[in-house]
Amino acid sequence: MSQPAFYYFDNNATTPIASEVADAMIPFLRDGWANPSSAYRIASEVHRAVEGARASVAALVHADPREVIFTSCGTESNNAAIHSALMTQPGKRHVVTTAVEHSANINYGDFLKRQGYEVTYLPVESDGSLDLHLLEKTIRPDTAVVSVMWANNETGVIFPIEEVAALCRSKGVLCHTDAVQVPGKLRIDVKSLGVDFLSLSAHKLYAPKGIGMLYVKRRTRFQPLVVGGHQERGRRGGTENVPHIVGFGKAAELAQSRLSEEYARVKGLRDRLEETILRTIPHTFVNGDRKNRLPNTTNIAFEFVEAEAVLMLLDQVGICASSGSACTTGSLDPSHVLMAMGLTPMRARGCVRFSLGVGNTEAEVDYLLGHLGPIIQKLRDISPLNPEHPDNDRYDIEAARAKHERELAEAVQKEDRVVAA
């Protein structure tokens, strides 16, 4: 049996489209191209397909189909939820979120601050967990919404959303959760969670990019972010992306059907990968709460190396992994998530995320393990930050760290000046 051209361990960034999903989409790329809002028969068939997919996505989160709004992506869903919470409560101009949200949400919070809103970014503990007592103290009479991710995309750490939502209800504050990383990994029941808004993105679920979903709890006032036609019951303008919606629906069905089996299988692979790395590669540790996280994710710090160098050498042997969110690739800054957890910039830059999915196998984990150790050792052998460097008597390790930090800070400032110009 021929080996694949690459070994994919970056499923928190995106996932391949499942063959069943592609098969469901193809008829609507070839023949089912009618506008679902039109009155003739072929359009009615397309409309039924859209509503069938809506029912499947609603079933995935245990919602009423009327509570599901299709969007273009998770980012739009998140923006729409916070936008609506602010627009429907003009007297409330305070938003609470966390310092470890996806960069898209952090950036939207910064945008709101420039518009005159007040945004509080809650810190997290060293294991990435959320302090609910601090959250309770932070909520004010003018707080419009608390927006907290359910599971972190970099560490996999899970926040207690049911408790967050209960706290919000007791304070009369709307609650939104970014659940983009959760489908297919954990069971979702919006009724049990008690949230007012919940966001999903199809491409994290073996469906295509360019389609997302926002759950809006029934009777929650909603002000659209995208204003236009009557689509989505007047809550999101724009002609529906039918093939992608159909693909999303099929992916939701698959996620429902294989959740229990895949949870145990993928967790077993992740645990074996993680435990072997910790046992065989010295100076490594796991970032985040190891007991309360997604079953597929591990974020590992490798001392005395740069993650970007690790990823480059892994890529040369066909292994795909990441050092953080795909949406921040190219940034010179260390991970804001890891920095919020108290890691130093140097240590944060040595962290690699491995996120497994339905396509990963025991053989692929073995392949990764066979290459990772030698790669880390190769990089440490030439690293002046390594205390065991053959020339370490010529180096002041702390001075080398400080010099490295200064150079990176200068590079970041230079990049900012270029962007500003």
Contact 165, 191 (CB under 8 A): no
Residues 6+ apart with CB under 8 A from 124: 98, 99, 100, 130, 131, 340, 341
Phi-psi region of 325 (alpha: psi -120 to 50; beta: other; left: phi over 0): beta
SS3 content of the chain, % helix, strand, coil (to 5): 45, 15, 40
> SS3 letters for 58-84?
HHHHCCCHHHEEEECCHHHHHHHHHHH
Tracing tokens 């069971």 back to the chain, one arrives at: 187
All residues at 6 or more sequence positions from 150 whose CB lies less than 8 Å from its CB, including other chains: 158, 159, 161, 177, 178, 179, 181, 182, 186
Cα distance between residue 90 and residue 266, in whole Å: 45
Distance CA 87, CA 314 (A): 47
73 catalytically annotated: no
Question: Pairing between strand 284-286 and 297-302?
Answer: antiparallel
Residue tagged active-site, from 73, 175, 327, 351: 327
CA-closest candidate to residue 123, choices 155, 158, 92, 148: 148
Q: What are phi and psi of 118, to 5 degrees?
A: -105, 130
DSSP string, 276-326: HHHHHSSSEEE-S-SSSB-TTEEEEEETTS-HHHHHHHHHHTTEE-BSS-G
Give the H or E element holding residue 200. Answer: strand 197-201
Catalytic residues: 327
